Structures are given as structure tokens and as C-alpha cells.
């Protein structure tokens, strides 16, 4: 018997084939695939409607056709090895791209199952499943995965995790992944319970499941000095959450910038509230310490080419550090470097670093950074931060500090400008003393304070005797010089809490908190003698008269009014003398200014029971 190739066929019409029973056809049509049967002569013995429609034949046409006439030469040649293997009794399964009757390419999965009876193969069944949608979905999924990988690899500070319904990682990719202590090879293909360390899997599982259920979940995680924002969400396929994805972004810089803007807003608010310059500097120091998480921060103002003053420090100034600094240009201090160069500086203190470094080391500090503060285009000072660790301050921190200092300059500049304007508005330009406006404000504050606390308060009103003669004889310019010199002498007599102001013309007022009338009278006498003791250049010797009043004595009027009445009594009594309102006592006749007193001074009673004392 001669072996024939399955492609050999008898071109004569084949013997008629029996019709497929209706019941069998119904069963075949219920299978969601293309179903056919080919005998050993490669003629079709049966096919369901889907098989016939695919190749564009009616059932009666396809029944009995040779496989070459159905598939065509090209497809038949490709399938021939599988056909021969099936006729040899071997089951075949393979993928094939076919063109349907409409000319559309479709992806199929083909199975040839031999029909063996009595040990002989009678033909083979064909099962063709259309997997086009699955192939296209797989391709889309692969394309998306490739995009996820490309995204994670290209964006700095990001990593991406893709996981399936079993919480198995499909993708673990990104520059920041190793920051979390993991590598791609360790995660991909593994379930989170099997690969994540510690309790991390238990922490993440509810978030992953929420993402698979279609919800978005976000949270932050701190890794060392970095902060990451993680977002878990669904990855949809055919409108279903087929997988979940986690995208982690390094938000450290964003959070730091947010803190900076919040800090600047706080400082600006303090400026808007007219906070004092010292209060602004204290807030800046506290904010810098918190922003940079260092041991100490300070605002330093340069007071000269080789001197500075620590305006504010957080926490408080340590006993090892002097508030006023005198430094050498060679001192290894961050603020000194700024003073010398005008540029940001970073130092690590060492034993040979000079006096400034020695003081910092005595306080336990080992490293520091400082950045310049400029006001009005000139170097005003510096903002600095220090650490008790040699690695506690870095170049990156110095750069951030410099950026922060540039923004702080605006606040300090505005505060300085406001302070200058306030000083101009409340300071007498000629004498440099507080003017009448400032005096009235201080007087109201001290009167209220004395009443609430039950303390003493006195005032002295002083007037230069015969000042009109100075202007008439020597001119107003010389008169201005005399006024400035009188103000300077009075200023040296006042204590820290006391206020000497120019009230107008040649009249001055001296406020003495927590001082009774007797003490104020003695203070006024010291002032009178200080003026009379030294000549005023070409003008020669001058004298003043003074009126004193204590708050408790001023029941009939205001404190200044009563002191002014006492001044009138001193003037009316002969000038160059001091009178106290409401107190009668012997008055002392004074000798001419600058001359020795001859004999016993004589007393004179001033009117209205006012004490009058002469030098």
C-alpha cells in the first residue's frame, strides 16, 4: 500500500457525505468557538455556523470541501506541520493570525485533536478560539507597563509599584526605590506578604485592597531626612480595576518650601502688626532653628568693620557666648566669614579658629552656616545656624539658608524703615531727644502705670534762662548749638527708665518713674548745676530754672501743668533755681553762674507755697 501525503487528493468529486443531524449542529453552534472536523483526506466532515461564517461559506458549501480550498495555499503551508502531526495521532495547539471573511486580521488559538478509532486515526477535530481581544488587551497592558517603567525611570524622586489582584508586584521601578531599602529584582513577581519587611505588608495591604476596589488612597512616609507622598489607586481594564498602582514622590523640598513660606507669612504678619525689630529678629531665629532642625540659630547685626551684636538667638544666648562680639578678620566663624566676604559661609570649628570659634566650641557647637542680610543695599548682618555635630550643617542647608535670608531681608528692611520713620516722627531733629508727641505718649503710659501699680511718678520742667538773648546776640545757629548741648548734658543725668524730652523752644521735660517729689527735686538741682557749671563756648555760662511735681501732688491738674506752675514760680523768684509744686520751704538765692558764691546763700519764700532752691 502506497503512503500518500495528506495534501494529495482525488480531484474527482468526493462521495456524497451525510447531512449533520440537527441536534448535533445545535450542540456545535452552542460552543463559543470555531469547530470543524477534517478526515484523513483533508475534507471537511462537519463545521458549526461560526466556522462557516468565518471563512465565508454556507454550511452546505463547506461540507466536503478540501482544506486547501478553505484555508488557501499560504495558511495551509503554515499549518501543514500541525496537520501532519495530528494525523499521526499527536494533539496540536498553536496561535495563528487569520483573516476572516470580512478581510480583518484576527488572533486565534488553534487546537487539532486526533480522532482515533481502533488504533487508527480517522481524522482530527479543529477548535479555533478568537483571542483577538485578549491579545490586544495584553498588548495594551504591556504598553502601559512599559510606559510605567519609562515614567518611573525618567522622573527624579519617583518610584512606581504595579500589583495585581493577588497583591503580587508586576512592576517595581524608579530611582527612589532603593531609598526604601528594596531592589526591583526582589519585588517583581513576589506577593507583598512574602517580600516586604517587618509590619510593612500589614500596613500596606488595606491600602492596596482599597485601590483594587477602585478608591484613591494617599499617605506620607518618612525615610531618613526625606519625606515621600505615596498615592495608591486602581488601574482599569474594561472598566474594572484589574490592578493597582502606587506612585511615590519625594516631597521633601516641597514641604520645606511650604514651611519657608509659612514662616515668611508669620514674619510678615509680625511686621504688619508693628512688632519691634528685636521681636522680629527673635521670631526669625526661632523659625530658622525649627526649619533646619539645628541646635541653635541667631540673627546677628554688624556694628562695625570688626564688631557685631547678637540681636536674637534661639534658644537663649548661652553663658559662654558674648552678646557683643569683637572679632578678627581671620576668625573661623560663619558670621565673621559673612562680615568679611559678604557671602554665605559654612565652617567646622577647630581649636585654632580664633576667639569667635573658641566661644562656639565652649558651648558645644561644632559646625555652623551663615548667610548675609542686606538692608538698603548695605550689609546689615547675618542669619546663622549652628549644630553640635560636625556633620549637622551641610552645603545644601547653607544654600537654603541663603535663599531664606534673601526673603527675610524684606521683613527686616521694612522693620528698619518703619523704625526710622517712627523715630523721625517722635524725635526732635535738633536735640535728638524725644519730641513733644513722643513725650505725651510716654507720659500717658507712665501715669496709667503709676496708678495701676500704686507707684510714684514725678516730672521736671526745665527752661533755659534768658535764651532770647543768646539768639539775639549770637544768632539762631548758635542758639541751636546751645540747645543741642543742653540736651546732651541732661541726657547724661537721666537713668535708663527715665525720659528727657524737648517740649518746645528752650523748654525740656524730664519724666522720673518710681520717683517721689523730694528725689525729683534733687535730680532737678543736679541738672541745674550741670548746666551752670561749664560755659557754652562763645556764649559763656548759662543757667536754667526748673519746676518739679509729683503725681500725687497734682490732684488739681495734670502732672505737667503743675510742674509748669512750679517752673513759673522759679522764674518769678529770680531764675537759676528749682521749685517744687505744692511744698513750701526756704528758697536759696543763687550766685551768678560760673562764679564762686560769696558768703551764706540767702533764702527766699516763693509765692503759693512752692519750694524754691537756688544754687
The string of DSSP letters for 420-438 reads HHHHHHHB-TTT-SB-HHH
Is residue 602 over pLDDT 50? no
Say whether pLDDT at 116 is over 80: yes
- DSSP summary character for residue 188: T
The pLDDT of residue 510 is: 96
Weakest mean pLDDT among 96-100, 216-220, 395-399: 96-100
Per DSSP (E only), the strands in 251-391 are 296-304, 307-314, 324-326, 345-348, 367-375, 378-387
Q: Which three cell numbers stand for residue 344?
A: 554665605
Residue 120 is predicted with a pLDDT of: 93
pLDDT at 596: 34
Q: Which three cell numbers stand for residue 467?
A: 535764651
What is the DSSP secondary-structure string of 557-606?
A: S-HHHHHHHHHHHHHHTTSSEEEETT------PPPPTTS---S-----PP
What percent of the chain is modeled with pLDDT above 70?
86
Residue 101 pLDDT greater than 80, yes or no:
no
Q: Are 242 and 214 in contact (CB under 8 A)?
A: no
Average pLDDT, integer, range 518-525: 95
Stronger pLDDT, 558 or 597, i.e. the higher one: 558
Residue 520 has a pLDDT of 95
Cell of 540: 559763656
What value does the mean pLDDT of the chain take? 83
Q: Which of 271-280, 362-371, 533-542, 545-554 has the lowest mean pLDDT?
A: 271-280
The torsion angles phi and psi of 193, rounded to 5 degrees, stand at -65, -25
- Nearest Cα neighbor of 296 from 381, 350, 363 is 363
Confidence of residue 114 (pLDDT cuts 50, 70, 90): very high
Q: How many CB atoms lie within 10 A of CB 493?
A: 15
8 A C-beta contact, residue 159 and residue 177: yes
Across the beta sheet with 499-504, the strand order is 499-504, 507-513, 457-464, 544-550, 577-580, 611-614
pLDDT tens digits for range 2-53: 444 555 544 444 555 566 677 777 888 888 889 999 999 999 988 999 898 8
CA distance 346 to 367: 8
pLDDT at 277: 74
Higher-confidence position of 554 and 526: 526
Please state which CATH class domain 22-130 belongs to: alpha beta
Closest CA to 14 of 59, 64, 57: 64
Measured from the Cβ of residue 505, the count of other Cβ atoms closer than 10 Å reads 11
Q: What is the mean pLDDT of residues 154-165?
A: 82
Residue 515 has pLDDT above 90, yes or no: yes
Q: How far is CA 423 from CA 199, 324, 428, 430, 445, in A?
A: 63, 24, 9, 13, 18
Where is average pLDDT lowest: 414-423, 482-491, 599-608? 599-608
| 436-614 under CATH 3.30.70.270, yes or no | yes
Q: State the first-to-last Cα distance of the chain, in angstroms, to the nearest integer.
A: 160
Q: Model confidence at 110, in pLDDT bands (50, 70, 90)?
A: very high
Please determine, looking at this structure, whether the domain spanning 256-420 carries the CATH number 3.30.450.40: yes
Which of 408-422, 429-443, 546-560 shows the lowest per-residue confidence on average (mean pLDDT)?
408-422
Residue 462 has phi, psi (to 5 degrees) of -120, 140
The two most distant CA atoms of the chain are separated, in Å, by 171
CATH topology of domain 134-250: Beta-Lactamase (3.30.450)
Fold match flag (22-130 vs 256-420):
yes
pLDDT at 475 (0 to 100): 93
Q: Which residues pair with 263 in a beta bridge?
A: none
Give yes or no for a contact between 36 and 125, defined as CB atoms under 8 angstroms apart: yes
Look at 222-226, 295-299, 585-589 and tell me which has the smallest mean pLDDT. Answer: 585-589
CB-based contact 208:244 (threshold 8 Å): yes
| Element counts in the chain: helices (H) and strands (E) | 19, 22
> Which pLDDT belongs to residue 325?
84
User: Is residue 343 scored above 90 in pLDDT?
Assistant: yes
Which has more confidence, 127 or 429? 127
Q: Where are the alpha helices (DSSP H) in 223-330?
A: 252-272, 277-292
With 50 as the cut, is the pLDDT of residue 601 above it? no
Q: Are strands 240-250 and 226-237 parallel, antiparallel or unpaired?
A: antiparallel
pLDDT at 597: 36
Q: In this predicted structure, what is the pLDDT of residue 166? A: 92
Distance separating alpha carbons of residues 458 and 546, to the nearest angstrom:
13
pLDDT surpassing 90 at residue 351: no
Which residue in 65, 63, 9, 41 sits closest to 124, CA to CA? 41
Where are the chain's structural domains?
22-130, 134-250, 256-420, 436-614
- In this prediction, residue 604 carries a pLDDT of 30
The CA distance from 171 to 221, in Å, is 20
The better pLDDT of the pair 202, 177 is held by 202
Burial of 595 (0-12, 13-18, 19+ CB in 10 A): exposed
For the stretch 419-431, pLDDT in tens is 555 566 678 888 8
Could you tell me the pLDDT band of residue 240, with boundaries at 50, 70 and 90? low
Which residue is associated with the grid cell 506578604? 193
Closest CA to 340 of 366, 393, 374, 302: 302
Amino acid at each position: 500500500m502506497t503512503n500518500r501525503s495528506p495534501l494529495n487528493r482525488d480531484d474527482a468529486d468526493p462521495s456524497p457525505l451525510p447531512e449533520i443531524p440537527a441536534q448535533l449542529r445545535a450542540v456545535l453552534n452552542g460552543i463559543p468557538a470555531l469547530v470543524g472536523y477534517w478526515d484523513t483526506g483533508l475534507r471537511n466532515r462537519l463545521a458549526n455556523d461560526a466556522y462557516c461564517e468565518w471563512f465565508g461559506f454556507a454550511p452546505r458549501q463547506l461540507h466536503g470541501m478540501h482544506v486547501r480550498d478553505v484555508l488557501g495555499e499560504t495558511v495551509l503551508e503554515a499549518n501543514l506541520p500541525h496537520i501532519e502531526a495530528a494525523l499521526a495521532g499527536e494533539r496540536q495547539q498553536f496561535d495563528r493570525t487569520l483573516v476572516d471573511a470580512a478581510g480583518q486580521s484576527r488572533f486565534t488559538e488553534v487546537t487539532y485533536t486526533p480522532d482515533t478509532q481502533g488504533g487508527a486515526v480517522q481524522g482530527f477535530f479543529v477548535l479555533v478560539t478568537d483571542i483577538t481581544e485578549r491579545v490586544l488587551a495584553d498588548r495594551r497592558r504591556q504598553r502601559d507597563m512599559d510606559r510605567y517603567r519609562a515614567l518611573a525611570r525618567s522622573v527624579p524622586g519617583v518610584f512606581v509599584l504595579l500589583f495585581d489582584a493577588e497583591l503580587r508586584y508586576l512592576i517595581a521601578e524608579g530611582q527612589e526605590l532603593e531609598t526604601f531599602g528594596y531592589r526591583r529584582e526582589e519585588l517583581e513577581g513576589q506577593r507583598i506578604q512574602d517580600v516586604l519587611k517587618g509590619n510593612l505588608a500589614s500596613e500596606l495591604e488595606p491600602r492596596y485592597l482599597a485601590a483594587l476596589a477602585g478608591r484613591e488612597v494617599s499617605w506620607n512616609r518618612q525615610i531618613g531626612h526625606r519625606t515621600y507622598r505615596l498615592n495608591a489607586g486602581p488601574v482599569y481594564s474594561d472598566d474594572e480595576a484589574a490592578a493597582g498602582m502606587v506612585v511615590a514622590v519625594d516631597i521633601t523640598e516641597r514641604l520645606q518650601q511650604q514651611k519657608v513660606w509659612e514662616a515668611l507669612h508669620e514674619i510678615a504678619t509680625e511686621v504688619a502688626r508693628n512688632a519691634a525689630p528685636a521681636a522680629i529678629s527673635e521670631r526669625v531665629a526661632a523659625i530658622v532653628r525649627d526649619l533646619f532642625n539645628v541646635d541653635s540659630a541667631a540673627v546677628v547685626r554688624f556694628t562695625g568693620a570688626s564688631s557685631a551684636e547678637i540681636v536674637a538667638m534661639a534658644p537663649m544666648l548661652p553663658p559662654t557666648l558674648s552678646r557683643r562680639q569683637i572679632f578678627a578678620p581671620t576668625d573661623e566663624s560663619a558670621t565673621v566669614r559673612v562680615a568679611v566676604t559678604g557671602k554665605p559661609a559654612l565652617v567646622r570649628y577647630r581649636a585654632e579658629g580664633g576667639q569667635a570659634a573658641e566661644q562656639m566650641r565652649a558651648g558645644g557647637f561644632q559646625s555652623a552656616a551663615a548667610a548675609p542680610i542686606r538692608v538698603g543695599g548695605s550689609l546689615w548682618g547675618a542669619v546663622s545656624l549652628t549644630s553640635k555635630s560636625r556633620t549637622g550643617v551641610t552645603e545644601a542647608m547653607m544654600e537654603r539658608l541663603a535663599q531664606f535670608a534673601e526673603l527675610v531681608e524684606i521683613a527686616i528692611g521694612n522693620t528698619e524703615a518703619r523704625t526710622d520713620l517712627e523715630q523721625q516722627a517722635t524725635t526732635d531733629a535738633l536735640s535728638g531727644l524725644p519730641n513733644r508727641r513722643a513725650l505725651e505718649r510716654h507720659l500717658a503710659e507712665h501715669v496709667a502705670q503709676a496708678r495701676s501699680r500704686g507707684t510714684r511718678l514725678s516730672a521736671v520742667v526745665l527752661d533755659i534762662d534768658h535764651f532770647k538773648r543768646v539768639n539775639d546776640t549770637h544768632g539762631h545757629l548758635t542758639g541751636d548749638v546751645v540747645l543741642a548741648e543742653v540736651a546732651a548734658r541732661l541726657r547724661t543725668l537721666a537713668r535708663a527708665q527715665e525720659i528727657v524730652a524737648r517740649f518746645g523752644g528752650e523748654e525740656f521735660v524730664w519724666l522720673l518713674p518710681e520717683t517721689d517729689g523730694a528725689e525729683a527735686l534733687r535730680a532737678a538741682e543736679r541738672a541745674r548745676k550741670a548746666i551752670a557749671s561749664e560755659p557754652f563756648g562763645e556764649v559763656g555760662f548759662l543757667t536754667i530754672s526748673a519746676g518739679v511735681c509729683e503725681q500725687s501732688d497734682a490732684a488739681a491738674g495734670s502732672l505737667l501743668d503743675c510742674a509748669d506752675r512750679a517752673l513759673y514760680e522759679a522764674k518769678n523768684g529770680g531764675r537759676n533755681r528749682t521749685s517744687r509744686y505744692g511744698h513750701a520751704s526756704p528758697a536759696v538765692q543763687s550766685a551768678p553762674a560760673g562764679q564762686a558764691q560769696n558768703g551764706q546763700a540767702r533764702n527766699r519764700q516763693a509765692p503759693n507755697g512752692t519750694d524754691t532752691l537756688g544754687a
